[in-house]
Amino acid sequence: MHNLTIDQQRLWDTLMETAQIGATAKGGICRVTLTEEDRRIRDWFRKACEALGCTVTVDGLGNMFALRPGRRSDLPPIAMGSHLDTQPTGGKFDGVLGVLAGLEVLRTLHALDYETNAPLMLVNWTNEEGARFAPSMLGAGAHAGIYPPEKAETITDLAGTSLREALEAIGYRGATPVGSVTFSAMFELHIEQGPILEAEERTIGIVTGVQGMRWYDVTFTGRESHTGTTPMPLRRNALLGAARVIERVDAIARAHAPHAVGTVGMVEVRPNSRNVIPGEVFFTVDFRHPETAVLDAMEASLHEALGEVADAIGLDCTHRRVTHNPPVVFDADCIEAVRKGAEQAGFAGREMLSGAGHDATYIADVAPTAMIFVPCADGLSHNEAESATFADCGAGAQVLLNAVLIHDARFA
């Protein structure tokens, strides 16, 4: 078996270098999808891959594919990748580690002139975070056929800009048809975004699947009126309705403990004036659980809560399910490659489910897929204080390299 070793310092330096694109005062990154900062990191990514002799193509939704040839051109490539976009107050590692560790794998192979059997491909997926355009993981989802590309590009942000307009504005609406690039397998490295590995002092998470996730948009409409002249019994306060549902969302998740979670993460109050009773409130709901039946029950409870609260206050209610990501089980052979890759590198690993959605969630529908987790401090993510160690990032990249080469050996 090979004894190739990634350059941990080079990987770390690359993480810190690219973190300056969209750097925030608190040490994080604001690189929201299809903004000027996203264009800059995309340009950097293209240049870095082309320096290794890779051919970079871009599809109609901005997904970027860097191809390194192998001995056998008849084989679909083994893919690595994640995303380079961030939350508005994101950290240096969420998604970014998966792309830059894949780049380090390519750099290691390039420096040693190592030729794999299958071609290798490094992918930067568009709009994984969903911070600007909902739903999240949109680029990977369209690639996998979950979202029709012609509909995906019409999705608008809160300012009314469509995905297509945003792609064209930064020059990344490519010519490659969405979904036309095929993989023989895909491996995604990511920080855990949870506390388990750190608590157990484990270095590597061998991810066997992803829990199901459902997002909802809800709008309560009441009546705007003066705060000083409208008696309490005559009010139709949309914010009061939202507050009651927020509490119900928490209760629904707790009723399905220990694996269920429920969150209201966005609230918009209109007209948002100090002395006007809110006439309209928009908010989001996020439910997650490893079992579809439980997600169905949580959704039914949400619908019941919305109806009860609206009726009690005299509100109109509109709601829709924005996205439904079923629970995912990853490919057994790819999982085994990760397990062997961790053992080969001498790192302690444990099997686990992912509580967060990832691009691999959708790619698993169209190609054998697995994920690798490394710890992050206090399990904190989607936060400028997000942190992972030099050693753990290097360990994850080494296991990624090992797993890819173990899988590639199948084609010898």
DSSP 156-178: B-TTS-BHHHHHHHHT---SBPT
Q: What is the pLDDT of residue 324?
A: 86
Residues 348 and 243 in one domain: no
Express each pLDDT in 61-104 by its tens digit: 999 999 999 999 999 999 999 999 999 999 999 999 999 999 99
Residues 216 and 115 in one domain: no
Q: What CATH number does the domain containing 107 carry? A: 3.40.630.10
Question: Longest Cα pair distance anywhere in the chain, in angstroms?
Answer: 80
Q: Answer for the pair 58, 176: CB distance below 8 angstroms, yes or no.
A: yes
Residues 233 and 88 in one domain: no
Q: Which of 353, 320, 126 is nearest to 215 (CA)?
A: 320
pTM, two decimals, is 0.85
Note the Cα 254 to chain centre separation in Å.
25
Residues 279 and 395 in one domain: no
Q: Could you give the CA distance from residue 276 to residue 235 in angstroms, rounded to a whole number?
A: 11
Express each pLDDT in 294-328 by its tens digit: 999 999 999 999 999 999 999 999 999 998 888 99
Residues 303 and 337 in one domain: no
Does residue 2 form part of some domain?
no
Does residue 232 form part of some domain?
yes
Does residue 3 form part of some domain?
no
Residues 198 and 343 in one domain: yes
Q: What is the pLDDT of residue 357?
A: 85
Residues 272 and 369 in one domain: no
Beta pairing class for 78-82 and 185-191: parallel
CA angle 328/332/336 to nearest 5° reads 125
b or e along 14-39 (b: 16 or more beta carbons within 10 Å of the residue's beta carbon)? bbeebbebbbbeeebbbbbbbbebbb
The count of structural domains within the chain is 2
Residues 149 and 297 in one domain: no
Q: Answer for the pair 110, 52: CB distance below 8 angstroms, yes or no.
A: yes
Residues 174 and 39 in one domain: yes
| Single-letter code of the amino acid located at 216 | Y
Does residue 310 form part of some domain?
yes
Does residue 1 form part of some domain?
no
Read off the tokens for 133: 């355009």
| CA distances in angstroms from 340 to 6, 68, 257, 346, 391, listed in the order given | 17, 24, 33, 10, 19
Q: What CATH number does the domain containing 308 carry? A: 3.30.70.360
DSSP assigned state of 29 = B
Looking at 268, 294, 325, which one is the last position of a domain?
Answer: 325
Residues 140 and 179 in one domain: yes
Residues 332 and 303 in one domain: no
SS3 category, 95: coil
Q: What is the pLDDT of residue 2?
A: 67
Residues 178 and 223 in one domain: no
Residue 168's contacts (CB-CB under 8 Å, 6 or more residues apart) are none
**Structural domain containing residue 345:** 8-211+327-411
Q: Could you give the CA distance from residue 237 to residue 225 in angstroms, rounded to a whole number?
A: 9
Beta pairing class for 212-221 and 280-289: antiparallel
Does residue 269 form part of some domain?
yes
Looking at 290, 325, 360, which one is the last position of a domain?
Answer: 325
Express each pLDDT in 233-265 by its tens digit: 999 999 999 999 999 999 999 999 999 999 999
Q: Could you give the CA distance from residue 242 to residue 267 in angstroms, rounded to a whole number?
A: 8
Looking at 276, 310, 325, which one is the last position of a domain?
Answer: 325
Per-residue pLDDT of the chain (412 residues; tens, 9 = 90+): 467 999 999 999 999 999 999 999 999 999 999 999 999 999 999 999 999 999 999 999 999 999 999 999 999 999 999 999 999 999 999 999 999 999 999 999 999 999 999 999 999 999 999 999 988 999 999 999 999 999 999 999 999 999 999 999 999 999 999 999 999 999 999 999 999 999 999 999 999 999 999 999 999 999 999 999 999 999 999 999 999 999 999 999 999 999 999 999 999 999 999 999 999 999 999 999 999 999 999 999 999 999 999 999 999 999 999 988 889 999 999 999 999 999 999 998 999 999 888 999 999 999 999 999 999 999 999 999 999 999 999 999 999 999 999 999 999 9
